[in-house]
Chains A and B, each alone.
Chain A
């Protein structure tokens, strides 16, 4: 009986594992095959004939597209990973440790705003950006979300889990709050900061709807937007779409493997946050 259940359990685990992994594997295989073979069915499990042509073409022949999109995505994601994380840490610290007038009122507004879906803001924010002349500009993609309520909330929770004594002794020694934040609190908050920075990087790297609304000409596109546009313009070149997709998926998969432990924890946290 025990053996029977073990068999059933592993059967389902492996089955879902295959279902989860196969689409990625097949895409990788076909991106490594000549572009004429893209609809050679039944699906191949290994690239035969093998070639790196699609990757070479994507990187070097479409110079105005893929390398530029990759660059735009990298610049925006790294910018957001650094500055959004920093600003959220500053705001989160104020909410976790400092007392100021209207603190509870502002916090209630934050909680309220977390219940409103993004769709409500796309029309007004687009109009605001067009008045700021930031439509079809990369800064327009990141400006409205340069500080997020989620990030502030996340860092606040993290700071609250750190014992206060560390800061208090420094405060008695005459350090001001900025010194305490940057020299004492942030260095011991590396796990929280890295988790948030990763989530910020991943969010920007994968984001689609807002860049789609803000960016309008191909040379300004981010990689996800560029891939979607390229697919519509050159449907017959689907091997290039797959090769480009690998460039989009790979950095996140690598980051995910490297920082698995941080991410798993923060997902449970994000899940609870909603």
Chain B
């Protein structure tokens, strides 16, 4: 039926469009065209987002190892999750530590650098491009480069005159990954701050300097308050990103050493697809939903902030 209509519509295209308008009302044609244009979206989104979402929810109440058929277990995956010392003792605190470190430092750094870039700076677009370079590079390349730089005989130890096995030491591994991610995402945040700074009208600064305010006053009393919504936005966006950190963890430490870099997002992968374990799809889905709820809350906050901004 649908195919027939598609053929018909193609035919009508050849004939200049008015071919079947006497047969169908204009309104019907519009609806048909709209649904046909959305057909690829309906198929993909229907299967891999809508159906998939409910399927994930269903699996989270079942015991499922991919081989035998799912067995209903009620809430026990969720109970098991919060009784798992790996989850409550490592995944959650590590994710929080990581998120707080990365978000606070990257927000501070990018705010300062964007403020400087917004001044009357020569080569501004050169610096902007340079800063953005890490953000367009794949997480794999960045991780591989930093594994090498942070290895025991690598460049970082050589420059600092130290002998630390950064990524294989439970005391340093999480901080090392945090450092790498601050390095790679600060560029994006600079661009967002810069866009926010350029939205502030020049007249605001002019009248302030006529009133005798110096640079320092202008920054603290004018720029910062006007930039508050953008700052909140960057913080929330950074938080959402940090909660989902996976690539760098998988590539650099796989959650080790001694679970010191196990995060909530890596936990999901590890339970479902980790090596040498029976897949625990139910437990993984439960962990994914918990992560989803946390991120959902932050996204709601972000939406609110955006509405406030518009």
Question: Residues of A with Cβ closer than 8 Å to B?
Answer: 5, 9-10, 12-13, 16-17, 19-21, 23-24, 26-27, 38-39, 41-43, 87-88, 90-91, 93-94, 98-101, 103, 106, 109-110, 113-128, 130, 143-147, 149, 152, 174-179, 181, 202, 205-206, 208-209, 212-213, 224-225, 227-228, 231, 238, 241-242, 245, 248-249, 252-253, 256-257, 260, 263-264, 267-268, 271-272, 274
The docked-state distance in angstroms from the alpha carbon of A98 to that of B28 is: 11
**Is the beta-carbon distance between A43 and B159 smaller than 8 angstroms?**
yes
| Interface bits B233-267 vs A (CB < 8 Å: 1, else 0) | 00001001001101100110000000000000100
Hey, which chain A residues are within 8 Å of B132, CB to CB?
256, 267
Among B37, B151, B154, point to the contact of A93 (Cβ < 8 A). Answer: B37
For the residues of A in contact with B, the DSSP-based class is helix
**Is the beta-carbon distance between B17 and A19 smaller than 8 angstroms?**
no
Least CB distance, B236 to chain A, in whole angstroms: 8
Chain B interface size, as a band, is 35 or more
Hey, which chain B residues are within 8 Å of A43, CB to CB?
155, 158-159
**Is the beta-carbon distance between B38 and A90 smaller than 8 angstroms?**
yes
The docked-state distance in angstroms from the alpha carbon of A209 to that of B240 is: 17
> Which chain B residues numbered 26 to 63 have a C-beta less than 8 Å away from chain A?
29-31, 33-35, 37-38, 40-41, 44-45, 47-53, 55-56, 59
- Taking A24-B145, A100-B31, A117-B244 as contacts, is the C-beta distance between A147 and B113 under 8 angstroms? no
**Is the beta-carbon distance between B144 and A241 smaller than 8 angstroms?**
yes
Hey, which chain B residues are within 8 Å of A13, CB to CB?
113, 116-117, 121, 127
**Is the beta-carbon distance between B244 and A119 smaller than 8 angstroms?**
yes
Known: A13-B117, A100-B31, A248-B141. 7 other contacts (CB 8 A): A115-B299, A115-B300, A119-B244, A122-B268, A178-B9, A208-B139, A264-B191
Q: Look across to chain A and name the residue whose beta carbon is closest to the beta carbon of B265.
A: A119
For the residues of B in contact with A, the DSSP-based class is helix
- Taking A43-B159, A149-B45 as contacts, is the C-beta distance between A202 and B31 under 8 angstroms? no
Stretch at the interface among B80-88, B92-100, B167-175, B281-289: B281-289
**Is the beta-carbon distance between B130 and A245 smaller than 8 angstroms?**
no
Hey, which chain B residues are within 8 Å of A39, CB to CB?
151, 153-154
**Is the beta-carbon distance between B149 and A23 smaller than 8 angstroms?**
yes
The docked-state distance in angstroms from the alpha carbon of A176 to that of B187 is: 45
Question: Residues of B with Cβ closer than 8 Å to A?
Answer: 9, 12-13, 16-18, 29-31, 33-35, 37-38, 40-41, 44-45, 47-53, 55-56, 59, 66, 109, 112-113, 116-117, 119, 121, 127-134, 136-149, 151, 153-155, 157-159, 183, 186-188, 191-192, 195, 215, 237, 240, 243-244, 246-247, 250-251, 265, 268-269, 272-273, 281, 284-285, 288-289, 291-292, 295-296, 299-300, 302-303, 306
**Is the beta-carbon distance between A99 and B34 smaller than 8 angstroms?**
yes
**Is the beta-carbon distance between A252 and B136 smaller than 8 angstroms?**
yes
The docked-state distance in angstroms from the alpha carbon of A252 to that of B134 is: 11
Least CB distance, A29 to chain B, in whole angstroms: 11
Least CB distance, B117 to chain A, in whole angstroms: 7
Least CB distance, A27 to chain B, in whole angstroms: 5
**Is the beta-carbon distance between B296 and A20 smaller than 8 angstroms?**
no
**Is the beta-carbon distance between B159 and A120 smaller than 8 angstroms?**
no
**Is the beta-carbon distance between B41 and A91 smaller than 8 angstroms?**
yes
**Is the beta-carbon distance between B121 and A118 smaller than 8 angstroms?**
no
Least CB distance, A161 to chain B, in whole angstroms: 15
